Amino acid sequence: MKKALLLFVVLAMLALVSTAVFAQDEVWHLGILVHSLDNEFWAQEAKGGELFADSKDDVVAQVLATDGDDNKEMQAMRDFIAQYGDHAIFVTDPASKANTANVVEIAEEAGAKVAILWHHADELEPADWDSFVVHMSPDDFVAGYNTAKHLFEKMDGKGKVVALYGQQGEDSAANRYAGFLAALAEYPEIECLDMQVASWSQDQAMTFTQTWLSKYDNIDAIWAANDTMGLGAIEALKLEGKNGQILVCGCDGIAAAYEAIEAGDMACTVANNGYLLMGYGASYAYQAAKNGVVPENPVIKTQAVLVTSDNVAEYKAMFIDGTPEYDYDDLNFCVLSAHPSFAELELEEKLGTAAAVAVTGAVVEAAEEEVAWNEIVDKINAEIEKGIENGEEGAAEAKEIVDFLQGLYNEIVSGEAK
Amino acid sequence: MNLLSKKDVKSMTIAEQFVSKVEQEALSNKIRVYAPMILLVIMTIVFSIYDSHFFSLKNLVNVLGQMAVPLILATGLTFVLLLGRIDLSVEGVMGLVGSAISLLLLNSRNSNDWGVWGVILPLVLGTLCGFITGFLHVKLKIASFIITYAISTIVSGVAVLLYNSQPATVKAQWVIDASQTYFLKIPLITWIAIIFYIICAIILNYTAFGRAVYAIGDNEAAAVASGINVQKVVIEVFVLSGFAASLAGLVALIRLKLGQVSLGENQMFPCITALVVGGTSLSGGKGGMLQTMVGILIYMELLNFLTIIGVSADYKNAIQGVIIIIAVALTITRGRKVIAK
Amino acid sequence: MEKELLFKTNNIGKIYGSNTVLQGINVEFHRGEIVGLIGENGAGKSTLMKIIAGVTDASMGTMEMNGKPFKASSMMDANKYGIGMVFQEQSLISNLSAAQNIYLGREKDFSTFGLVNWAKMNAAARAALDKLGLSNISPAQKISDMPFAMRQMVEITKVLDIVSETANDRALILLDEPTTVLTDDEMKILFEQVRLMKEKGNCIIFISHRLQEVLDLTDRIYVFKDGHLTGEVETKDADEYKLYEMMVGRETNGEYYVSQRQTVPTDDVVLEVENLAMFGSFKDVSFKLHKGEVLGLYGVEGSGKEDVCAVISGDEGKTAGTIRINGKEVSFGSPSDARKHGILSVPRDRRDEGIIGILPISENISVSNYGKNATAGLISNKKQTENANGWIKELGIKCEGPMQRINALSGGNAQKVIFARVLDSECPILILDHPTRGVDIGAKGDIYSLIRDITEKGFSVLLMGDTLDECLGLASRIIVMKDGLVTAEFDCPADNKPDQVEVVQKML
């Protein structure tokens, strides 16, 4: 008797819960397509999608793991669409670059909106499709470039570096490494002794590092394309007591990497911020489906922060110990250039914090209001040219700053960071 | 063997021919056993001459340190392969045990500090996985590669749930100390692997269980006829393999400190490659602990050497693939009309 | 002196499906006796041995050991009663030593705390081997390092040791063709040992094709034919010729084999082999196969006839000699090569090699010649079905239709489907490997008629018959093989078949 009563209560509760969700006329079903949850970053992404859904009364989210398998991803979408029709919306960290074409076609057929993160097939542009709302990604090239540059600066622009490459055949791995090479080209006194493919693996990275340490005795820094490999390198260094002496960087921003930065074992990483990426991706898809809002520029570079010993505490508190709170209705917030970024941090070094904030603010304002920025810059440049010719003090530095601001402005206007 | 010269063949009776055929088979068996050992010696000499860094004490110690996990896994897999079975669950079990230990010892995620139980319980758990695998394989008669694959995905999933996608870093001081402890310049984890290897070598060579493993792998019908409880032995082998995977999980955790599923990733196929290179047959019955050690050493030396001389990754993968094909082709028994499936 | 009865069977029989392979067998074995079992391959003697040794169950009848009912569910079980069998195909573990093989599954006797004391085991094995006078075998030597004959001796040692452990001098030991691979000296040692065991009161059953050995060794001989016990003779009253006669038994009349339709071969030679050899199996094999002829190839199993056919059908490689088809020298590396040259083999083991069980009859018929029912490489199902319907009618295959799975057919009908495939393939040279094995009597007659049809159409057949009777009845010429060599050739015209005893003499 007791059991029957208990069962009744449970059923009643279930009914209540489901009416609460389904009572509304329009419920949007968000399919969160990620590789799997066994990787911290992917889990962060999925969490971001869920955070967004939690912030809306009319969104129900479901995580669909694809295991990086094209067919699984397509099947998951079809199943989801079969269930929810055009009230299905998707945000995906796609199984592969090529498969995004299939993803878009499936969505288009069903009239479901989809936001795609990280990579998309060549010539597959959001502008050409109704359902392909937006493509968003942090810039891997910039991430690789910035981590490398941070190492090189700490090396005072000279010494020996080795590199740990990600997975062969993956875009992010290739772009991050391209960023590393671009930075390397700027430092003629830095030599890259060797590069090895460690396939994002901690174990392999540790093994390679051990072998390097027995072969070379003059390594100054190890550039790793992600945090896991960086942590592997650090374990190898620890065995020789060289952690903290040989610089190591990572990328992605996982918890263990923040701890390593706090401990002084890791120099820097980039917080790719999966919460923001997938949360805002979902938001774009939702807004397009519900309100027909389409971003003017549907190819978005999201903000990614270089995390060093200076700001690690702040980001760890935000991303690891807690979850970041975002206003998902402010769709522009996630865009790289509309938010203080590492570019601004660099400006701080040159001008000091207050001035940097002021100048950046002015530039952002100018960009948004589309004043005749080029004319202003041309005039300033002409003045500076004169100053240089006359040998005036500080003229060269002024030119550097103006060039920098020009870059920042271009970033904001084009939304492109490269 | 000049038995095969043309003149001799003609004058031989069929019975004599048959005898010489069997002798030849025995000889080629011998070659198959000793070839990997000779290869190992030649490799070591050639590599040392080619690059002086290779034979440096420091590098050899490195290779020994890197050997710990593969050696433990390969030791457990030796039994499985000798049976003619395969165990694809070792990676998952490694990940599960490593993750569980990281969460039960002093760590960055929670306030647990279970001390020695934090190690023992996960090891028991992993061994239990082996038991379940073996039990299902034997009782439901599911092919080993399928059931072990299924178990692998299940335990990986459980592991991810355990740490809720955010792997813990082990903070327990003894783990940190253990990773930096050396006896006779050889890392502690390698000693663990070597001790495990020796115990398993004794089990394989000096117990009825070990003989039964060979018997089942070579001729299951004959093993049954000899009164061997085949089901029990098969389950025991999977239990042993499960324990080996668990121990490998512990050792990998000591090495890397971060308790996540990827502790086990890409560990199994290199091990199976090494076993086959050493002369263990995938079809069962052939191989042994000595072959396992030789195979692991060949594999580790080769990887290390390729890194030392800076061979690019593309070639490295290709070289590994070629080695697997050659090794399998050499160890496989020929004369079957049907291509192996 | 009346010997004490050790073991007897009452009406033992064995049926596989619809096929009776052993019927109404009543044999008695006494203590201190060596009994020979002879008969053609497939006569049922091996089946009887397997039933006694617990390898398979009897379908009917009972057995008694030491006066009590006996029924063994496994070899282990039989061992406990004191019955052990040495197999023709060896069941040793090649990677273990002699001692480890002898005591496999019995290591407990040598273990302390789970660790086996190899020295102790080797010493025990030494004693067991010495008992058989096998001082040349080292207990620690691996089986894979031993010559074949030595392996055989280890196997015998193993069985003797197991059985003598439980049944002290009341053991029944079955030796299934143990001498095939032994040298003369080794054979002498074996015989001495067998006699020694007999004197101690054990009973040994000895199966062999070598009649001289049987006469030398045994006290009494049972003769088997077609699943029946056809004769029993005291060895002292027998000689080789008498045994031949007993084995051959009654002859079937020509009608059974449709002899009136036996073709007279033409002079066209379609296949010629010259000095063909396969290392370790046969050599100097030469013969000619004419158009429209059934050429029988006969010998005991292991005489090399199977390998001759395997080489001609492309399944195995030859090591010497030439094969000519229509006068042109050919060589092929696979059965598919051979088929292209017009040779097709119908395998003996239908379940494993002949049929593709899950496919329908129509597919099974056209699998050797898909091209016939295809246009531009695409198979027409309609054509294929029509084709199959044609064959089903022509050969009288009992089935529900061309789409029925071949697995569902009886042995005889499945064999007919395979014949349909053979005829469909239009290969002029056919190798028939025991085409009537496992087929019931009625279907046998159909298959004989079919073979006549085939040859009348101009096909040539190389036949390995199930029995000598069958081989002689069907063939117009037979070639007899023994120990890898051709020992005789007989013409078999329809009205004047050679004497079976003569043939058997050349074969054994």
| Per-residue pLDDT tens over the stretch B181-225 | 888 888 899 999 999 999 999 999 999 999 999 999 988 888 887
Which pLDDT score is estimated for B338?
A: 42
Tell me which residue of A139, A140, A94 sits closest to A114, measured CA to CA.
A94
The model's pLDDT over C234-254, given as tens digits with 9 standing for 90+, comes to: 998 888 888 877 877 655 666
Contact across the interface for C148 and B19, Cβ inside 8 Å:
yes
Which pLDDT score is estimated for B285?
A: 85
Any CB–CB contact under 8 A between C144 and chain B?
Answer: yes
Identify all chain C residues contacting B207, using CB atoms and an 8 Å cutoff.
Answer: 107, 111, 114-116
pLDDT confidence band for B322 (50 / 70 / 90): confident
- Cα–Cα distance between B137 and B129 in angstroms, integer? 12
Compare all CA atoms of chain B with the CA of A162 and give the residue at the minimum distance: B310
Domain that holds residue B124: 47-331
Q: Which tokens belong to B174? A: 């003894």
The model's pLDDT over C365-392, given as tens digits with 9 standing for 90+, comes to: 877 766 677 666 777 778 788 888 888 8
Which pLDDT score is estimated for B337?
A: 41
Contact across the interface for A38 and B165, Cβ inside 8 Å:
yes
Any CB–CB contact under 8 A between B213 and chain C?
Answer: no
Q: Following CA atoms A29, A32, A33, A39 in sequence, which dihedral angle do they give, to the nearest 10 degrees?
A: -160
Which pLDDT score is estimated for C33?
A: 92
Contact across the interface for B14 and C483, Cβ inside 8 Å:
yes
Helix (H) or strand (E) holding C272: strand C269-278
Compare all CA atoms of chain C with the CA of B287 and give the residue at the minimum distance: C95
pTM above 0.80, yes or no: no
Contact across the interface for C91 and B219, Cβ inside 8 Å:
yes
The model's pLDDT over B97-135, given as tens digits with 9 standing for 90+, comes to: 999 999 999 888 888 888 899 999 999 999 999 999 999
Compare all CA atoms of chain B with the CA of C109 and give the residue at the minimum distance: B208
Question: Mean of the per-residue pLDDT values for chain C?
Answer: 83
Neighbours of B48 (CB within 10 A): 14
pLDDT confidence band for B323 (50 / 70 / 90): confident
Task: Give Dmax over CA atoms of chain C in angstroms.
Answer: 81
Any CB–CB contact under 8 A between C76 and chain B?
Answer: yes
Average pLDDT on A46-55 reads: 92
**Any residues with CB less than 8 A from the CB of B112 and at least 6 apart, and which?**
B103, B104, B105, B106, B118
Average pLDDT on B323-329 reads: 74
Q: Is residue B299 part of a domain?
A: yes
CA C261 to centroid of chain Cα atoms: 29
Nearest to C105 among B221, B226, B285 (CB): B226
Neighbours of A83 (CB within 10 A): 12
Contact across the interface for A215 and B256, Cβ inside 8 Å:
no
- Cα–Cα distance between B223 and B12 in angstroms, integer? 36
pLDDT confidence band for A23 (50 / 70 / 90): very low
Helix (H) or strand (E) holding B222: helix B220-225
pLDDT confidence band for C151 (50 / 70 / 90): confident
Against chain A, the chains showing at least 3 CB pairs within 8 Å are B
Domains belonging to chain C, first-starting first, are 5-248 (3.40.50.300), 252-342+427-441+455-508 (3.40.50.300), 352-426 (no CATH)
Contact across the interface for B219 and C304, Cβ inside 8 Å:
no
More confident residue, C296 or A95: C296
Any CB–CB contact under 8 A between C168 and chain B?
Answer: no
Superfamily for the A145-269 domain: Response regulator (3.40.50.2300)
Which pLDDT score is estimated for C438?
A: 67
Asked if pLDDT for residue C8 goes beyond 60, the answer is yes
Any CB–CB contact under 8 A between B9 and chain C?
Answer: yes
Which pLDDT score is estimated for A145?
A: 92
Contact across the interface for A40 and B66, Cβ inside 8 Å:
no
Asked if pLDDT for residue C281 goes beyond 80, the answer is yes
Identify all chain B residues contacting A254, using CB atoms and an 8 Å cutoff.
Answer: 166-167
Nearest to A214 among B62, B160, B180 (CB): B62
What CATH number labels A24-138+273-303? Answer: 3.40.50.2300
More confident residue, A227 or C268: A227
Q: Which of residues 259-318 of B touch C (CB under 8 A)?
A: 285-286
Contact across the interface for B214 and C279, Cβ inside 8 Å:
no
Compare all CA atoms of chain B with the CA of A230 and give the residue at the minimum distance: B256
What are residue A64's DSSP bridge partners?
Answer: A33
B226, B229, B280: best mutation site toward chain C, by most C Cβ within 10 Å? B226
Q: What is the tally of structural domains in chain B? A: 1
Distance in Å, alpha carbon of B193 to nearest chain A alpha carbon: 17
What are residue C231's DSSP bridge partners?
Answer: C223
The model's pLDDT over C182-225, given as tens digits with 9 standing for 90+, comes to: 777 777 878 888 888 888 888 999 988 788 888 989 999 999 88
Any CB–CB contact under 8 A between B211 and chain C?
Answer: yes
Which pLDDT score is estimated for B100?
A: 95
Of the spans A387-396, B100-109, C36-45, which averages the highest pLDDT? B100-109
CATH of residue B312? 1.10.3470
The model's pLDDT over B232-265, given as tens digits with 9 standing for 90+, comes to: 999 999 999 999 999 999 999 999 998 888 888 8
What is the interface pTM, i.e. ipTM, of the complex? 0.79
More confident residue, C254 or B173: B173
Any CB–CB contact under 8 A between C107 and chain B?
Answer: yes
Cα-Cα-Cα-Cα dihedral sign, residues C289, C290, C292, C293: negative
Which pLDDT score is estimated for A417?
A: 38
Tell me which residue of B187, B92, B301 sits closest to A236, measured CA to CA.
B187
Which pLDDT score is estimated for A92?
A: 94
Neighbours of A24 (CB within 10 A): 11
